[in-house]
Amino acid sequence: MIVPLSNEQLDAMRNIFPRTILEIDQDLAIIRHWLDKQPHLPKISDDVLKKFMFSLKYRMDKIKIVIDNFYTVKESYPQYYHQLDPCTDSFRKIVNAVYICPLPKLTPDLSRVYCYRMASLNSELEVEKQIKRHEMMWSWLFNKDPLTLRNVWIFDTSYMTSMAQWGQFNLAFLKNILKICMDAKPVRIKKIYIINVSSIADTTLNLIKHFFPQKFRDRFVISSNVQCLQEDIPLDMLPNEWGGQAGSLETLSNEMYLEMVKSRDWYIEMEHVKADSRKRIIQKENGDESILGVEGNFKKLNVD
């Protein structure tokens, strides 16, 4: 399903944030020394740490913050990170309701593209469960790709026709998503496309957009059609429904689901790879104020 990254792509990525092997090893030693003093964090392999280091441009302070937050959200938001078995009937139900998939190839600027669309007008959205599924998919790809540079998200709202559906994007939900996406992900979100937007949805989306910081808000592209996608993504890379040749969203989504099923043991193991706040040596004195006043053991990040 996913086309492996070529040596040329990996070399191009590395050239964006150039680092010698010696420098990488020195940075890794710094992170390892810091981790030795963080008993609340799980064991993390060198390969995973190097992915964090690369994706965060080898900025030591930022790497430490994101590593801490990355594993802390897995403890703090069990609705998204516990019970990750993809082989249950309930999981298959949410797979049938919404198409969620990565595109097989990276874009020419080396971005990984994720696609989302409800399967039909009659599908049940259950947005909290779909966020868990997204996180499972993202984790699988972060594990599979040797390096991760940036992400692009495409949301097709063709079948988002009721206020009940949009009502699931309430303030509490947005706080959670902002926390996870902005403070706890070792990757930059380059752009968020929201396409096939009706006039009613346009009003709702512009309201939702204002909960994001300005720098992040500027990455939204809201459109009533699909033509805007071609600004960043070659036509042949897109799913058939959006004028491309990559296959249908249903096929791509089912292929992603089968990969998740094959990785069942890995997902179940990942349920336990999280922070343990009881072992945290220094509790942060102030509640987190980085995103909408949400409190918890998180640190603030500036959006890249």
Side-chain-side CA neighbours of residue 279 (13 Å):
14
Contact in structure between 148 and 50 (CB atoms under 8 Å): no
- The pLDDT score that the predictor gives to residue 290 is 40
Provide the domain limits for residue 86. Answer: 1-304
Residue 160 CA, chain-centre distance (Å), reads: 21
In the chain, the percentage of residues whose pLDDT exceeds 70 is 93
Q: What is the mean pLDDT of residues 81-97?
A: 97
Lowest mean pLDDT among 96-110, 131-145, 206-220: 206-220
- The pLDDT score that the predictor gives to residue 50 is 98
d(CA 289, CA 134): 25
Query: What domain count does the chain have?
Result: 1
Contact in structure between 114 and 102 (CB atoms under 8 Å): yes
Lowest mean pLDDT among 213-222, 241-250, 289-298: 289-298
d(CA 70, CA 297): 11
Q: What is the mean pLDDT of residues 63-74?
A: 96
Q: What is the mean pLDDT of residues 36-63?
A: 97
How much is the pTM?
0.90
d(CA 94, CA 99): 9
Q: How confident is the model at residue 297 (pLDDT cuts 50, 70, 90)?
A: very low
Rounded to 5, what percent of the chain is helix, strand, coil? 50, 10, 40
Q: What is the mean pLDDT of residues 131-148?
A: 96
Lowest mean pLDDT among 76-80, 115-119, 193-197, 287-291: 287-291
- pLDDT at 287 exceeding the cut of 50: no
- The pLDDT score that the predictor gives to residue 285 is 45
- The pLDDT score that the predictor gives to residue 296 is 44
**At CA 104, angle to CA 100 and CA 107, rounded to 5?**
105
- The pLDDT score that the predictor gives to residue 301 is 56
CATH number, domain of 252, equals 3.40.525.10
d(CA 5, CA 2): 9
- pLDDT at 112 exceeding the cut of 70: yes
- pLDDT at 284 exceeding the cut of 80: no
Q: How confident is the model at residue 47 (pLDDT cuts 50, 70, 90)?
A: very high
Query: What long-range pairs does 86-94 form, CB within 8 A, spacing at least 24?
Result: 86/136, 86/257, 86/260, 86/261, 86/263, 86/264, 86/267, 87/261, 87/264, 91/133, 92/257, 94/126, 94/129, 94/130, 94/133
- pLDDT at 288 exceeding the cut of 50: no
Dihedral sign (CA 276, 277, 278, 282): positive
Contact in structure between 135 and 177 (CB atoms under 8 Å): no
Strands 150-156 and 111-118: parallel
- The pLDDT score that the predictor gives to residue 217 is 87
- The pLDDT score that the predictor gives to residue 294 is 37
Q: What is the mean pLDDT of residues 275-303?
A: 58
- pLDDT at 119 exceeding the cut of 90: yes
Instruction: State the chain's mean pLDDT as an integer.
Output: 90
- pLDDT at 293 exceeding the cut of 80: no
DSSP, collapsed to helix, strand or coil, labels residue 191 as strand
- pLDDT at 35 exceeding the cut of 70: yes
- The pLDDT score that the predictor gives to residue 299 is 52
Q: How confident is the model at residue 211 (pLDDT cuts 50, 70, 90)?
A: confident
- The pLDDT score that the predictor gives to residue 227 is 94
